[in-house]
Amino acid sequence: DGDGLLDGVETGTGTFVNASDTGTDPLDNDSDDDLFFDGQEIDRGFDPNDAASNPEVNLSNHLPERVLYRRTDNLPAADFTGALPENVDQSIPFGVLDDPSSLILEGIDVDREPGGLGTDLTGDNHDIAYVFQFYDADGIFSFTENYDDRVKVVATPIAGATNLNATGPSSEHTDTAWNVRTFANFNFDEGGWFNVDIWLTEDGGGAQSAADIGFGYYNDTSFNVGDFGGIGYTSTFGISSGLPAEFDTDPFGLSWGAYIDTFDPDEDSDGDSIPDGYEIQFFPGDLTQLGPGDFDSDGVADPEEYLDGTDPTDPDADNDGSNDGAEKAAGTDPANPDSDSDGLLDGVESGTGIFVSATDTGTDPLDNDTDGDNAADGFEVESNTDPNDANSTPGIQIIQPSFVPINELGPGAYGPDFTQTGLNYQENKYGGGTILNGQSQANYNIHVSGNPAPTRSVDAIVPWASHGNGGNFSTRNSPFVDGGGDNFTVRYNGYLDMSTYSPGQYTIHIVSDDTNYFIIDTADGTVIADDPDCCAERTQSFTISTPGIFPFDNVFGEQGGGEWTDVAISGPGIPGIVALGDTENGSPPVYPIAANPEDSDGDDLPDAWETSWTSIDNLSQLSGDGDFDNDGSTDGEELTARTDPTNPDTDDDGLPDGVETGTGTFVNATDTGTGALNPDTDGDGLSDGVETNSGTFIDVTDTGTNPLSVDSDGDLCPDGVELARGSDPNEASGLGASSGAYLQNFDGFPNGTTDLCDGSAIGSNNGPASIQDGQLRLTESGLGSTHASFRTPALGGSAASWTMTFDYTVTAGGDPADGFSVSYGAIPPLTNPTGTNTNAANGSGEEGWGADIPWVSVEFDTYDNGAGEGGLNVATNNTAHPDLFFLQGRPVPNGGSLSGTATISWDGDAGTLSAYLTGLANPIEIVDLEIPNFTADDSYIWAFSARTGGATETVLIDNLSITTTSPDIHNFSVSSEDGGDTLNFEWNSYASEVYTVVSSTDPEGDGLPETWTPVPGLENLTATVPLNTHSIPSPGDPLRIFHLLAGPVPALFEDDFESGAEGWTTLVNDPSGNTAWELGSPVGSTGPLEGADGSLNAWSTNLGDYGTDSDISLRSPSIDLSGIPGAELSFKAFRDADGFADVASVRFLRAADQVQLGTAVDVDMTIFDTDWSTIEVPVDPAALGEVILIEFNFASDSSPDAFSGLSIDDVSVSAN
């Protein structure tokens, strides 16, 4: 019953004897109904059978009519991941939570920005979380919300106002739609106390714009916003009850509030000036240890330590080498190991003014720069300078960038260009759909990686980081160097000179239309500021403990519309907020990033570049005219080419750097003209090294193709794609005539392929649609605002009938996006992937295509707009949602993944569509759905269409098959070689099937073939793989139709245990013997309470909970696999163990001597099943042809667990 007592001690007598005979009810966690768990009462010395004997409710733990609040920032696309507020208040000052990020508020007021009662709704990309408890007499209550953007409410029944132990399962309400009012109605069937956790997620664009009360409570079921009152306040915004929310009252007179993990500071029963609750933290149940004395002999009396917030049992509470009393005398903080934040422990800062060693620095523990030379004491000790001598000063620290600058050289080779001020500026232009609002990091990665390459790029040195007519921090607003516009990025690089600024906290301020992504590397670490979308100010604070000169990087991205960006800084010594580089208005100096040119050995190679390579130990190893890696390119040439002088093949394409001259012209094998930094210079999916330009295909390591031509034979099919298709990339070939089938498994194509050379077309407005790892990817998690499509060629005969099958996988990147559709209709060719015309571009995502062309579509909609949009839909260009068929439901959960197979077919004669989809919670079957006002045509094609918006997901399609005739995989044939006297039957056969041939002389009158008469001698035939051949005398009829029926082979062995355990044996392999395989209905603390499918019997590791240190086996009866070419074991399992240390496996044993055959197969016991699941295990090849036993093994560790372990049912073995 989960009350903290073992079932064995809860004897149910109603009389408490001792802890081994408690008299309590083992099926009731609160036997005397006094709102305290039985185990808690015994732990605290009370009788769990007597309601009058119970711990006193400590009202200091219940703060009436208050809620706990916490805000977590910088959470783009990560709904409901913000931390819940903490409730601990064990340290002075009391009444303020120990966690500085958690606050106590009077209520929840989110009616509109900026928020009320202490809630902060300003800004973007944050989670606001609340926790409070309340009493409801009948367990029926509701919340309403209309929050922009998303809301999650989790209610859990608990034991009481000051007892947060759950007494039942939680219930959850989630709203992931934007600005839609929802009602969270809960019914727990019985009343009591409830804990509620609330998350409010804001992505961007303003936190609350809804009409009426933003978040309210009502103590009954309701869908009427006028019933709901504000929690802790009266809402005056639009419609509400006009009163504060009313909560019920429990028998102690408590109603609602927040549980605080604290103690009553006024309760001091022993009069020692230390609250009892504080004392028992250190000595539970003993108030004699602490008192007016000094328990830890640190020079501070215990009552003082209580007031100071230090540990009265530890003489050095902060472990800084100085005891608490000495710190109080010196004025340092005994709760802070580094009182002045200079990087030195207080205990080593002896204050003598003389540096002895790192453990006796002589520095002032209350001054982070004792000698006033603007270098922190800790930094001076690290730099081997004297922190007490202003004339002994470390050099200015210049940090190397963690990023690759615009002027790339090599790691560790950079520094500020002191010959000029300003910063590096690079403006790149791109095709439409590449740079997107809402994708700041993606925009950064595109610019820095060079993938895709810009259509134009301009470099410059500019004075400051302020461009375009907008922004909050600067009036400079310089024009963009290359004119700005749409679809472009600007990258700033520079060194920020903070060497003369004091240590302290500084803040980066960024704002843009559309995005910024900023990085700065300081002596204290890397700082990142993210401005994901237009147009709000974003800030990122950071601490400088050691001044220096720090490299920074920022990429501004503009999709379209207005364009402007500001990057600014504020902090000690800086007047207000000022754009980086604007020194006239107070910015610290900024210098361009340059390569360090020092060449101390005169070899025409910068020293920093030479020593940046891991295999170079000194400056003598490389030289301008040397060739360290013997690749045919001198070290000096490699410096210019930016290749690795220690690696003969920098790009790992099979060609030495020296032959890849980068001229763009192939001369011969020693002058290929290819690029030494690009393994596939022409982008055809083949590495430069295999493209030998001989014109003759030898094999995949010598393709004969031109490494500088994507299509060596000029047949409009890329060389890499031709290899994937099995054709010669040196000989032009066409696609061939369209047949009655389109088959594409997407295997073998290079990643990124968008032309399969089979008459299909792949496109997307911003890049993700392509082949990836042998699958068609339409959209990608993390990439928003995508429209993507895949179009097939037309197939003859499609108007009459067709059947399509494909596998799909949808993986949500947090909140699921819009899903995909598959359509058939007059869809035009893909002419403009980035265009705005729906049909010429990529369609309307899961909504199909434009209304101006005929089509029928099966739509897989994974987005939930709060109005029931998500689900499976069948639509045409003439229908509106919910169209011809709609099954509402959210197929993919937040952050989840779903895979399955779809089969869709068209019957032109009947004008109907059928579909069958697996992979969902339950398979969906649509049978003969009439499609009105749609006339098919052989010119029509099939097209997949998908889209993402602010929410994103990856959509993968694989193993696509479209046929306009029904394929016969058995190739069943009837023939005669003797003029008709003997009939010969032949078909492809499979080990997993059995066959019966049926016939009819009146197929119209006899109905379906499954009802026809079996042919004598051709019934229940086993497979003779790969071909079955049989003969019979001709029946002599003038007309007879034969039909082959194929079905699964009956199981070689099956047992559902409902007839008992006959033939099964159990073994206990451990000495304790406290667990055994038992047959019956399981009754564990958790797990199943019946066999699979509601049956009476299952084998379980004890019918109750399993014991510790167990090792047990269950063996089946003998199973004959003689003559079986392949077999599969199937069983139903319910896994309910500890999830990490308890294990299970399956072995196949030879029946004659119990020798293991093949390898044991582990059962994944990290899974906690909530229902019976089917596990399928291929029989090891070593067991085939043998008479075997199946052995199920289970082993537990030494920790006692209240779980049922492993249960199995419905065991079968079938040939395949």
Identity at 694, one-letter amino acid code: S
What tens digit of pLDDT does each residue of 428-486 get? 999 877 888 878 888 999 999 888 889 899 999 999 999 998 777 888 999 999 999 99
Higher pLDDT, 281 or 116: 116
Q: For the chain, what is the radius of gyration of the CA atoms?
A: 38
Specify which residues 788 forms β-bridges with.
764, 946
Sheet holding 229-230, edge to edge: 182-187, 140-145, 215-218, 229-230
Q: Which of 132, 142, 152, 151 is nearest to 193 (CA)?
A: 132
Judged against a pLDDT cut of 70, whether residue 55 lies above it is answered with: no
For 657-683, b/e burial (b = at least 16 CB within 10 A) is: bbbbbeeeebeeeeebbbbbbbbbbbe
Q: Which residue has tokens 């004395």? A: 293
Integer Cα distance of 793 and 796 in angstroms: 10
CB-neighbour burial class of residue 355 (10 A; exposed 0-12, middle 13-18, buried 19+): buried
* CA atoms of 904 and 1105, how far apart (whole Å): 47
Instruction: Number of helices (H) and strands (E) in the chain: give both, helices first.
Output: 10, 61
Q: Which residues contact 378 (CB under 8 A, 6 or more apart)?
A: 342, 343, 344, 368, 545, 546
Which positions ≥6 away from 43 have C-beta within 8 Å?
4
- How confident is the model at residue 208, as a pLDDT? 56
| Structure-token pair, residue 1213 | 């073995």
- Nearest CA to 194 out of 108, 241, 254 is that of 254
Asked if pLDDT for residue 301 goes beyond 80, the answer is yes
Cβ atoms 128, 214 nearer than 8 A: no
Helix (H, G, I), strand (E, B) or coil at 142: strand
Contact of 625 with 656, CB cutoff 8 Å: no
Closest CA to 1206 of 1148, 1146, 1128, 1160: 1146
Q: Does 415 have pLDDT greater than 60?
A: yes
| CA nearest to 491, candidates 482, 500, 499 | 482
- Confidence grade of residue 963 (pLDDT, cut at 50, 70, 90): confident
Q: What is the pLDDT of residues 790-809, one digit of tens each?
A: 999 998 889 999 999 999 99
- Of 266-275, 326-335, 959-968, the poorest mean pLDDT is in 959-968
Residue with tokens 């792949």: 762
Whether residue 348 contacts residue 360, with contact meaning beta carbons closer than 8 Å, is answered with: yes
For residue 835, pLDDT over 90 is answered with: no
Inter-residue contact 198 to 152 (CB < 8 Å):
yes
Q: Looking at residue 896, what is its pLDDT?
A: 78
Give the pLDDT band (50/70/90) at residue 1083.
very high
Q: Are 658 and 631 in contact (CB under 8 A)?
A: yes
C-beta of residue 140 within 8 angstroms of C-beta of residue 222: no
Mean per-residue pLDDT, 120-133: 86
The band of 535, judged by pLDDT with boundaries at 50, 70 and 90, is confident
For the chain, give the percent of residues with pLDDT over 90. 56
- The lowest-confidence range among 762-776, 863-877, 1022-1036 is 863-877
Rounded-to-integer distance, Cα 1142 and Cα 1136, Å? 10
Q: How confident is the model at residue 737 (pLDDT cuts 50, 70, 90)?
A: very low
Q: Give 285's Cβ-side CA count (13 Å radius).
A: 3
**Phi and psi for 275 in degrees, rounded to 5?**
-60, 140
pLDDT digit string, tens, across residues 992-1050 = 789 999 999 887 678 888 889 999 999 999 888 889 999 999 998 878 899 999 988 78
Q: How confident is the model at residue 740 (pLDDT cuts 50, 70, 90)?
A: low
Domains of the chain plus CATH, in order, are 59-259 (2.60.120), 347-393 (no CATH), 414-595 (2.60.120.1560), 649-734 (no CATH), 742-963 (2.60.120.200), 973-1048 (2.60.40), 1053-1215 (2.60.120.200)
pTM above 0.75, yes or no: no
* CB-neighbour burial class of residue 925 (10 A; exposed 0-12, middle 13-18, buried 19+): exposed
Q: Output 968 or 328, whichever has higher pLDDT.
A: 328
Q: CB–CB of 256/61 below 8 Å? A: no
Instruction: Report whether 395 contacts 414 (CB < 8 A).
Output: no
Q: Where are the alpha helices (DSSP H) in 132-246?
A: none
Within 8 A by CB and 6+ apart from 737, the residues are none
Q: What is the pLDDT confidence band of residue 44, given thresholds at 50, 70 and 90? A: low
The three-state secondary structure class of 444 is helix
Average pLDDT of the segment spanning 604-629: 91
From the centroid of its chain, how far is CA 710?
A: 36
Closest Cα to residue 438, out of 950, 952, 954, 953? 950
| Identity of the residue numbered 462 | V
Predicted local confidence at residue 836, as pLDDT: 62
Biggest distance spanned by C-alpha atoms of the chain: 120
As a dihedral over the C-alpha atoms of residue 329, residue 333, residue 336, residue 338, rounded to 10 degrees, the angle is -70
Give residues with Cβ within 8 angstroms of 953, minimum separation 6.
779, 781, 810, 811, 812, 813, 816, 817, 819, 862, 892
Per the CB < 8 A criterion, the answer to whether 805 and 742 are in contact is no
Residues 790, 770: Cα–Cα separation, whole Å:
9
Q: Which residues pair with 810 in a beta bridge?
A: 898, 955
Task: Give the whole-angstrom CA distance, residue 691 versus residue 667.
Answer: 13
Q: How many CB atoms lie within 10 A of CB 29?
A: 22
Q: Pick the range with the lowest mean pLDDT from 703-712, 780-789, 1123-1132.
A: 780-789
On whether the CB atoms of residues 446 and 489 are closer than 8 A, the answer is: yes
Rounded CA gap, 139 and 1148, in Å? 53
Q: Which of 1057, 1010, 1096 is nearest to 1192 (CA)?
A: 1057
Report pLDDT for 965.
65
pLDDT at 797 (0 to 100): 87
Segment among 228-242, 729-743, 749-763 with least mean pLDDT: 729-743
Mean pLDDT of 83-103: 84
* Average pLDDT score over the chain: 88
Structure tokens at 1163: 């059962």
553-570 mean pLDDT: 93
Alpha-carbon distance 308 to 317, whole Å?
Answer: 11
Q: What's the mean pLDDT in 1176-1203? A: 94
Q: What pLDDT shows up at residue 564? A: 94
Please state, as a whole number, how many other Cβ atoms lie within 10 Å of the Cβ of residue 447.
25
The predicted model gives 858-886 an average pLDDT of 80
Across 689-698, 701-710, 730-739, least confident range: 730-739
DSSP state of 621: S
